[in-house]
Amino acid sequence: MNDPLARPSAGPGRALSLLALALGAVALLLIGIGGPGTRFGWWGFRTGFKLMKYGAYLGIAAAVAAIVALLVLTVLGARTRRGTARGAVAMAALALILGGAAFFLPWRWRRHAMSVPPIHDITTDFVNPPEITASRAERDTTRGMNNWAYEGDSIAAQQRRAYPDIRPVMLALPPDDAYRAALRAARDMGWQILLDDPATRRVEALDVTKWYGFKDDVSIRVTPASGISRVDIRSISRVGGSDVGMNAARIRKYVAKLKSENREKVADEQ
């Protein structure tokens, strides 16, 4: 005859642990495939973002289920074989970690996205930004891709507030030498060179982001400036209203490389 005062078995707790573990694994899978699927052209970037969002929701569900399972298995003191209980607790703990990670990664990305202005065109020259010419044929604005034309004061003001450090690089070199230095730094960045024009001292390049495979264009222009040379850079995304700070980060990395390769020639910035 069953004892009505006996503690509950680990069956419900173990079942919840398995459910939580499955939810956590699926959540991380959705987040993990969203970016590469977009990069390889399996779906559009909006679908990739949705998969990340759904993964975060599943992560929350996994964490909640894991916490309930742990309560059933520990606080309520389930009566079962010790090995079975430990295994169920371990599954619940792992599910909690997976669910937490599945929620934390999109949350951190969204928090960063909200901390930067919703713009996708960053330049060191607001008045006369370097032109985008080589990739115009790749920008189908009828399909929602961004135009190559600079939007002017509406985004310049936002950039000034968010990225005051994005400025031209002044090199104590003749313009032609500065151009070669700028081109070399662009190649060292691993970008695909789309335009190499020594006559106008302009470089255009393509950079593809690692996770989602977003294609962003970079334009570099070298001009004479009071006996030295001024290097202006512009980085603009082909799709998306916000670049989540990617273009500013790209320019910073390029500027750092250009300066590191020409340390003795870096002049005071204007």
pLDDT at 270: 47
Could you state, in order of their start, the residue ranges of all structural domains in the chain? 11-115, 121-265
SS (H, E, C) the chain: CCCCCCCCCCHHHHHHHHHHHHHHHHHHHHHHHHHHHHHCCCCCHHHHHHHHHHHHHHHHHHHHHHHHHHHHHHHCCCCCCHHHHHHHHHHHHHHHHHHHHHHHHHHHHHHHHHHCCCCCEEECCCCCCCCCCCCHHHCCHHHCCCCCCCCCHHHHHHHHHHCCCCCCEEECCCHHHHHHHHHHHHHHCCCEEEEEECCCCEEEEEEECCCCCCEEEEEEEEEEECCEEEEEEEEEECCCCCCCCHHHHHHHHHHHHHHHHCHHHECCCC
Rg (CA), the chain: 26
Q: Is the pLDDT of residue 268 over 50?
A: yes
The C-alpha atoms of residue 39 and residue 216 are separated, in whole angstroms, by 13
Pair 148, 195: CB distance under 8 Å = no
Whether residue 96 contacts residue 66, with contact meaning beta carbons closer than 8 Å, is answered with yes
Of 151, 213, 222, the C-alpha closest to 185 is 222
**Is CATH 3.30.530.50 the right assignment for the domain spanning 121-265?**
yes
pLDDT band at 13 (very low <50, low <70, confident <90, very high): confident
User: In the structure, what pLDDT confidence band is assigned to residue 4 with cuts at 50, 70 and 90?
Assistant: very low
Mean pLDDT of 59-66: 96
Q: What is the pLDDT of residue 170?
A: 97
Average pLDDT for 86-110: 93
List the one residue out of 130, 136, 149, 150 whose CA is nearest residue 221: 130
Confidence of residue 87 (pLDDT cuts 50, 70, 90): confident
pLDDT averaged over every residue in the chain? 90
pLDDT above 80 (res 141): no
Residue 269's pLDDT is 56
* Type of residue found at 13: G
Q: Of 4-18, 33-47, 132-146, 150-164, which has the strongest mean pLDDT?
A: 150-164
When pLDDT is averaged across residues 108-120 and rounded to a whole number, the result is 93
Residue 5 scores a pLDDT above 50: no
Percent of the chain residues topping a pLDDT of 70: 91
Q: Compare 122 and 213 and report the one with higher pLDDT.
A: 122
